Structure 1
Amino acid sequence: MTVAARIRREPFAYAAYGTCVCTAAYGLMKLAQALGANALADKDPLPPDLRQRLLARDPLFVTAHWIMFAVAVVGVLVALATVRPWGERVPRRILLAVTWTVGGFMVLRAFGPVGYGFVGDTLVLTGLQPPPGGHTELARELARWDLLLWSPFFLVWGLLWTATAWHLTRTGRGRGRRPA
Structure 2
Amino acid sequence: MSWADRTRAGAYGAAACAAAYGSMKLAQALGANALADKDPLRPDLRERLLARDPLFVASHWVLAGAAVVGIIVALATTRPWRAPLPRRLLLTIAWTLGILMIVRSIGPLGIGFVSDALVLTGIDEPPPEHAALARDLALWDLLLWSPFFLLWGVCWALAAWRLGRDRPPPTIH
**Pairing partner for 2:95 from 92, 100, 116:** 100
TM-aligned CA distance change 1:91 to 1:163, over 3 Å = same
Distance in 2 between the 1:48 and 1:117 partners? Answer: 17
Post-superposition Cα deviations, 1:32-65, rounded to whole Å, max 9, x if no partner, equal 0000000000000000000000000000000000
TM-aligned CA distance change 1:133 to 1:13, over 3 Å = same
SS at match of 2:129: coil
Distance in 2 between the 1:52 and 1:46 partners? Answer: 9
Please name the residue that 2:66 is paired with. Answer: 71
Consecutive unaligned residues of structure 1, counting only runs of 5 or more, are 1-6
Is 1:130 the counterpart of 2:125? The answer is yes
Please name the residue that 1:147 is paired with. Answer: 142
Cα-Cα RMSD:
1.5
**Pairing partner for 2:22 from 15, 27, 33:** 27
Larger RCO (CA within 8 A; separation ≥ 6): 2
Please name the residue that 1:58 is paired with. Answer: 53
Deviation at 1:9, TM superposition (A): 9.5
Consecutive unaligned residues of structure 2, counting only runs of 5 or more, are none
* Amino acid corresponding to residue 103 of structure 2 in structure 1: L
Is 1:113 the counterpart of 2:111? The answer is no
Post-superposition Cα deviations, 1:85-135, rounded to whole Å, max 9, x if no partner, equal 111221011001000000000000000113010000001011111113400
**Equivalent runs, 1:81-96 vs 2, <5 Å:** 81-96=76-91
Most deviating of 9-18 and 70-79: 9-18
* Amino acid corresponding to residue 126 of structure 1 in structure 2: T
Deviation at 1:171, TM superposition (A): 1.5
Distance in 1 between the 2:66 and 2:167 partners? Answer: 26
Post-superposition Cα deviations, 1:149-170, rounded to whole Å, max 9, x if no partner, equal 0000000000000000011111
**Pairing partner for 1:16 from 8, 11, 24:** 11
* Amino acid corresponding to residue 169 of structure 1 in structure 2: G
Distance in 1 between the 2:170 and 2:109 partners? Answer: 39
Is 1:40 the counterpart of 2:35? The answer is yes
Distance in 1 between the 2:141 and 2:166 partners? Answer: 35
Most deviating of 123-132 and 135-144: 123-132
Aligned residues between the structures: 170
Distance in 2 between the 1:177 and 1:22 partners? Answer: 32
Instruction: State the TM-score, normalized to the length of structure 2.
Output: 0.94
* Amino acid corresponding to residue 36 of structure 2 in structure 1: A
Give yes or no for contact 1:110–1:118 (8 Å, CA) kept in 2: yes
Please name the residue that 1:162 is paired with. Answer: 157
SS at match of 1:135: helix
Q: Percent identity?
A: 60
